[in-house]
Structure 1
Amino acid sequence: MNASTGPATLAPARVPVLDAASAVATAARVAEELALGAAERDAQRVLPAEELDALSRSGLLGITVPAAYGGPGLGAATVAEVIRLLATGDPNVAQIPHSHFVYVNALREQGTREQQEFFFGEVLAGRRFGNAQSEVGTKHVRDFRTTLRPAGDGLWILDGEKGYSTGALFADWIPVLAHLGEDGPMHVAWVERRADGVGVVDDWDGMGQRTTASGTVRLAGVRVPASRITPWHLTFDAPQTYGAFAQLVHAAIDAGIARAALGEAARFVTTRSRPYPDAGVERAAEDPLVVQAFGEMELAVRAAEALLAEAGRAVEAADAGLSVESVGAASLAVAAARASTSAAAVEVTSRLFEVAGTRSALASLNLDRHWRNARTHTLHDPAAWKVQHLGRYAVAGTLPPNHGQI
């Protein structure tokens, strides 16, 4: 179960292998297609199965597979921009592969050569990774009860229940975070979505991000060979960007929500809003108060996007030379991006109605989906703790903790 680097026998790619420019261009195209049905999917809670299949075929889910295994090995900055663009089209679809990218990273960190060769080949064949990590009803988000127990002959038995399992319903493989033995170190068990004992329940009923299918995964006596288990705890024994990368992708989703809401507000104001009489203008878009509000929102979104891009570069710089200092700098940059994108997403999706006027509140328009999506997704990690770590660094030069949530 130890990590290994180095080249492997390359499996033939069955999805496009994209360079950075192609990945960004492809994400922009896919985002336009996602936007066409996003409002209806939200209103009717239509899960985006076809849209995810198209995303898999595009090659975007393979952009972080290392070059030694046939992928392009693109860095965090490109991933952040790809996810941001996808989120402008539909943040539900953008959130579903979050765990896919995070667990590709987990394999890069701790997978054996054989595990990397197999699973990276799966990714390049268009397969998707899900997520079974968080648990409901435990003491805190890093408290887990799911357990792998030895069964002899290189087999382990996996039992537990996971909540908020974004991506699991649509996955080919579900990485499950579990104790190895009773209260042993945390490992990842890689189980097939349709393996015996695996149940995925679509019971997510969030007010926003309604079509991520972030429901429950039930694991009852699932047989897992040792070759499908990777250590997770070792990731945090040394400086790492695993957590910063995961948080960066979340920030990209919020930035995309903010930009999409601002764009929709502008379209509404220029085509459907009436001016307020006291403004003395012919069009709502000429009202100086409306223009001022749009300027303030544009400023907030641009700042969030700039911090997101800076954070992506910081993660890449840390990956190029891992140290306590470089990883700390990356985590702080991501914390700033996460706090800024969270604030921008909630602010802009709320002010949309302020600038667009009464008619924008009609349920048939479903403009409130932007706010519901922003308010739901920004709850994933408390932004106040990002600011807390930034404050500790500013006051005393204290670097953030070396765990997977910053």
Structure 2
Amino acid sequence: MTAVAERVAILGSAEAIEAAARLSADFAAGAADRDRDKVLPHTQIAQLAASGLLAITVPAELGGADLPASVVAEVIRLISWGDPNIGQIPHSHFVFVNQLRLQGTSAQQARILPDLLSGKTIGNAQSERGTKHVRDFTTTLRRDGSGWRLNGTKFYCTGALFADWIPTLAHLGEDGPLRVAWVPRTADGVEITDDWDALGQRTTASGTVTLTDVAVTDDLITDFAATFDRPTTYGAYAQLLHSAIDAGIARAALDDAARFVTTKSRPHPDAEVDRAADDPLVVHAFGEMELAVRGAEALLADAGRAVDHANTQLDEQTAANANLAVAAARAATTKTSVEVASRLFEVAGTRSAVAKDNLDRHWRNARTHTLHDPAAWKIQHLGRWAVDRTLPPRTGQL
């Protein structure tokens, strides 16, 4: 859990972006070592919370800055540029703040969201292993007197190990509608296991949360199923932040490739140049990668603006436009992050494969995180819209 401050700074848009850039540079310095040794970023998450960046979406009426989605995406991109593990950890924090704003009562918002102004954080317990698909859940809330008992096992619970609140998706009864149970990290019956052992994003602590007869009161349950009953940017917002993580990975991989080529790589003799960085084939490859990264970053920024616009003028069309813009950004950042992190070795040469430099972490991080939602389905929905203007579904995963 995060250490609690008296009150974090309330940051405007420019201040938030500046703070994210500063922290990104700090986080980058130890990213390779943390990945290699699997050292969880407890100190760095505490810094992130203390900076005020995790409070930037608290509503103005509760004392927060209420910054738009486009700014949050840029904050996540910058943090992920430094270390995408740290960039991914607060993803659910922002998404569930949004869920509470959309579906929580004013009393529920007033109970939980002011905690963020003192540096507290939100995790998640959503996905489950062994179910039919990613939107199939077995965790249940069952009546127990005047309250409820929550039981289930969740996996891929990024952020939970660092969190003060763990919002948990569960059915009311066996097959009832989905709800979010807002569970304090310290509640009896909550067990968090750091059993995340993945190819990449190794230090997100995205392990298991086990919930055994956890007591939940009515005032800590919000509706989830109703989120998609009407036009919404809920899913677009969540996917926008995922895209920002991948954009950050792509830029970091390109930076490390340039650093290696200008300081360590040897030129190919056929190039007849003194530096590998002057090899015209290497320069051309860098030009292609820069073009791809800039394109992905531009689509991310465009998607952020589309979500902002839909949030101010929400209807079926603006929500669909936001979903499609985010789908394009997500597909582009998926492709770009994986390809650039791979081409890093093409341009940097044999020496870049030495284990001590840990440059392969960029590809491992990109490949792991981009598996979160299949990019092919995003392209499928873009294609259906392009062919006959079919609006995308309200699934939250476009």
- TM-score class, shorter-chain normalisation, is over 0.9
Aligned to 1:299: 291
Aligned to 2:94: 101
Q: Distance in 1 between matches of 2:223 and 2:71?
A: 27
Determine whether 1:78 maps to 2:85.
Answer: no
Q: Distance in 1 between matches of 2:354 and 2:156?
A: 30
Correspondences of 1:6-405 after superposition (within 5 Å): 14-153=7-146, 155-405=147-397
SS at match of 2:186: coil
SS at match of 2:395: coil
User: What one-letter code is carried by the residue in structure 1 that aligns with 2:175?
Assistant: D
Q: Distance in 1 between matches of 2:59 and 2:155?
A: 30
Q: Distance in 2 between matches of 1:203 and 1:110?
A: 32
* Shift of residue 118, structure 1, vs aligned partner: 1.3
* Shift of residue 66, structure 1, vs aligned partner: 1.0
SS at match of 1:178: strand
Q: Distance in 2 between matches of 1:13 and 1:123?
A: 11
Tell me whether 309-318 or 176-185 shows the greater mean CA deviation: 176-185
Aligned length: 394
Contact kept in structure 2, 1:13 and 1:70, CA below 8 Å: no
Aligned to 1:5: none
Contact kept in structure 2, 1:147 and 1:160, CA below 8 Å: yes
- CA displacement, residues 37-87 of structure 1 (integer Å, 9 cap, x when unaligned): 000000000000000000000000011111111111001100110000000
- Normalized against structure 1, the TM-score is what? 0.96
Q: Distance in 1 between matches of 2:271 and 2:186?
A: 61
* Shift of residue 393, structure 1, vs aligned partner: 0.2
Q: Distance in 1 between matches of 2:6 and 2:366?
A: 36
- CA displacement, residues 325-376 of structure 1 (integer Å, 9 cap, x when unaligned): 0000000000000000000000000000000000000001100000000000
* Shift of residue 125, structure 1, vs aligned partner: 1.2
- CA displacement, residues 246-291 of structure 1 (integer Å, 9 cap, x when unaligned): 0000000000000000001001101111100000101000000000
Q: Distance in 2 between matches of 1:86 and 1:348?
A: 19
SS at match of 2:162: coil
Contact kept in structure 2, 1:342 and 1:378, CA below 8 Å: yes
Structure 2, gaps ≥5 residues long: none
- Normalized against structure 2, the TM-score is what? 0.98
SS at match of 1:317: helix
Contact kept in structure 1, 2:138 and 2:174, CA below 8 Å: no
SS at match of 1:169: helix
Q: Distance in 2 between matches of 1:190 and 1:108?
A: 13
Tell me whether 117-126 or 312-321 shows the greater mean CA deviation: 117-126
- CA displacement, residues 118-138 of structure 1 (integer Å, 9 cap, x when unaligned): 111111111110010001000
Q: Distance in 2 between matches of 1:120 and 1:321?
A: 24
Contact kept in structure 2, 1:331 and 1:400, CA below 8 Å: yes
User: What one-letter code is carried by the residue in structure 2 that aligns with 1:108?
Assistant: R
- CA displacement, residues 275-327 of structure 1 (integer Å, 9 cap, x when unaligned): 00000101000000000000000000000000000000000000001111000
User: What one-letter code is carried by the residue in structure 2 that aligns with 1:180?
Assistant: L
SS at match of 1:179: strand
- CA displacement, residues 207-252 of structure 1 (integer Å, 9 cap, x when unaligned): 1000000000000000011111111111111100000000000000
* Shift of residue 13, structure 1, vs aligned partner: 7.1
- CA displacement, residues 152-180 of structure 1 (integer Å, 9 cap, x when unaligned): 12x10000000100001111110000001
Q: Distance in 1 between matches of 2:212 and 2:319?
A: 38
* Shift of residue 181, structure 1, vs aligned partner: 2.1
Q: Distance in 1 between matches of 2:321 and 2:61?
A: 28
Contact kept in structure 2, 1:145 and 1:178, CA below 8 Å: yes
SS at match of 2:160: coil
The alignment-based identity, stated in percent, is 66
User: What one-letter code is carried by the residue in structure 1 that aligns with 2:63?
Assistant: G
User: What one-letter code is carried by the residue in structure 2 that aligns with 1:79?
Assistant: V
Structure 1, gaps ≥5 residues long: 1-11
